[in-house]
Structure 1
Amino acid sequence: MQSKTVRYLIIAVAAVCALFAGYHYIHTISDDDKVKKTTPAKKSTKKTSQNDDKTAKGMDLAAIKSGDFRSVVGTWKNPAGDTFVFDKNGLVSLTSNGETRSDREVFLASVDSIPAASIDKGMLKTFIGPKDHNVGPSGAVSTYFIPANVKLDGTSNPSVDRIYSGQQMDDHNIFTKVD
């Protein structure tokens, strides 16, 4: 009787050890993944001769949504010659129909009846409007930040980062980076 109890005890201890080893192995892999995921973020804060590592990697929607525009710093232009100029803090200026304005911003939080920026279908959907938030009936323009390889119906060339801004989904309202 005693040998049966010892055998059951040994089996129970072995089972607990196996469960612990499996648990430890799974969490070691998860911790390694976390290290791999956080390592690039640490590297991206270092400046290079270009803007920084984030810019080199493309559009970072989560960063933009939180107010960090480093991944889109520079000038963006559409086929009509209209431009957006961004610095790390957001929209610096926009040029439309030959008129340059610096009194506009990308709305990240909700403003009046305009919803907060949201990431949907691989794009950051937001609006550009007046910095004083006096939106009026048509004071804000729908704007999407679209990373490379994300398709937007009615437009072409999904191989590059793009910004859509306007009322019609077509290539005339697509801005691509020029510097």
Structure 2
Amino acid sequence: MGKNKKPFYQKIWVWVVLVVVVGGVGYGSYAFMDHNTTSHAVNKQSKTPAKQKSESTDNKESSKEQKKVSKNKETDTTKNQQDVASLSTVDKEALALLGLPDKFVSDYGALNADTILSGKSEVTSNAIYQNPDANNGTKLTSVEFSGVKIESDGPKNIVKLNNLANTVDNISYIQGYFVIDGDTITYKNQGTRVSGAQQLGTQSLKALFKQYKNDPKFENIKKLITDNTVDSIHNGSDSETVATDDSAKAMNVEQMKQGDFSSIAGTWQRPDGETMSINADGTLTTSDSSVTKKIDTSHATDDNGSTKFSVKEYPDTSVTGGAMFVVMSANTAFEGITPKAEDSILMGQNNMDELVYTRVK
């Protein structure tokens, strides 16, 4: 019998070949997978710098935009500060008037920017008709005026109506004023006979300038301000100084002797707050009395720069006697009276400083 042959899978060479083939396939798969992994990592690395570059560019652009906005804000703020710093006195006064708060009053009544521009104020004071007719002593409900007068009293800027009819007399005890301190405007009402003041609020000068610098009201209000100390404009002139206050009038004694008292017509006030309103015809009233009086020129006497008249009740001036009425020009001495640096009037029965009036408008 011939030899029995082994099955092929029991032969050594078959297993050798199988090991070689399986080993080769395994290595090929590993190499392929490793290549793909490496390629993916390389691609990821090659893409990351581009993304980082893009993000960096975006951040730079955003930073530039933020810096640009911040710079613009700083420029606007600086420009606004420069503009405010260059404002004249009357510019600041006009802005203060444009920002008047509720309940602010002039010497006659409630006041705001629209009231000033309209030229008519609803009276809340004790203003009365002061003329020798049927309306004499009647309380007013409104007054017409033209512009406002800013009277400086230290830091206070007292606001008064200007160019009222000479038949109007005011015995108000309240007046409004504002104080400008740097950028802050403070508004108050004060009594004319008692101390103390009521604060009404504050405004920012810069904020008001920003709000009104291009508003026609700004220029219109400026033209309606009378102020003896303004350093700025009226009617478009930046260098003109306006002095239209009634207090600039000088006493004219010779006219007074002829019955013309226009040079002292207006409102005068004593140290205790009592006021006297004088008309051009020589009639007058005081705030503590509703009785009208008239200056008597029949026995006028001159005395070293002062002139002595008398006053009698009006319209019946036939009664003899009467109180002294002495007009004293600035720096003039009168017996028992301390000379003043401004025109003054003594009215009363005695030579006392407490009875001396000085002009307020």
TM-score (normalised: structure 2): 0.30
Shift of 1:105: 0.2
Question: CA separation in 1, counterparts of 2:256 and 2:276?
Answer: 15
For the pair 1:105 / 2:300, whether they are aligned, the reply is no
Match of 1:130 among 313, 318, 325: 313
| Equivalent residue letter for 1:73 | A
Change in 2 beyond 3 A, CA 1:99/1:125: same
Question: CA separation in 1, counterparts of 2:243 and 2:261?
Answer: 18
1:41-96 Cα distance to aligned partner (Å, 9 max, x none): xxxxxxx98477xx63411111111111121121011123322211222223223x
Shift of 1:134: 4.0
For the pair 1:119 / 2:308, whether they are aligned, the reply is no
How do 1:14-163 residues align onto structure 2 when only pairs under 5 Å count?
Answer: 50=244, 56-95=248-287, 98-101=288-291, 103-109=292-298, 116-131=299-314, 132-135=316-319, 140-163=322-345
Q: Retained in 2: the 8 A contact 1:105–1:129?
A: yes
Question: CA separation in 2, counterparts of 1:157 and 1:133?
Answer: 31
Change in 2 beyond 3 A, CA 1:168/1:79: same
Change in 2 beyond 3 A, CA 1:118/1:155: closer
Q: Retained in 2: the 8 A contact 1:126–1:143?
A: yes
How do 1:161-172 residues align onto structure 2 when only pairs under 5 Å count?
Answer: 161-172=343-354
Number of equivalences: 119
Question: What residue number does 1:13 align with?
Answer: none
Q: Retained in 2: the 8 A contact 1:77–1:84?
A: yes
Question: CA separation in 1, counterparts of 2:244 and 2:279?
Answer: 13
Runs of 4+ in structure 1 over 4 Å off:
none
| Equivalent residue letter for 1:93 | T
Question: CA separation in 1, counterparts of 2:268 and 2:348?
Answer: 14
| Equivalent residue letter for 2:305 | G
Shift of 1:167: 2.2
| Equivalent residue letter for 1:104 | K
Question: CA separation in 2, counterparts of 1:83 and 1:178?
Answer: 9
Structure 2 unpaired stretches of 5+? 1-241
Question: What residue number does 1:6 align with?
Answer: none
Q: Retained in 1: the 8 A contact 2:294–2:317?
A: no
Higher relative contact order (CA 8 A, sep 6+): 1
Q: Retained in 2: the 8 A contact 1:61–1:119?
A: no
1:7-35 Cα distance to aligned partner (Å, 9 max, x none): xxxxxxxxxxxxxxxxxxxxxxxxxxxxx
CA RMSD of aligned residues (A): 2.4
Question: What residue number does 2:161 align with?
Answer: none
SS at match of 2:290: strand
| Equivalent residue letter for 2:325 | T
Question: CA separation in 2, counterparts of 1:86 and 1:61?
Answer: 15
Structure 1 unpaired stretches of 5+? 1-47, 110-115
Identity of aligned residues (%): 28
| Equivalent residue letter for 1:99 | S
Question: CA separation in 2, counterparts of 1:67 and 1:50?
Answer: 24
| Equivalent residue letter for 1:105 | K
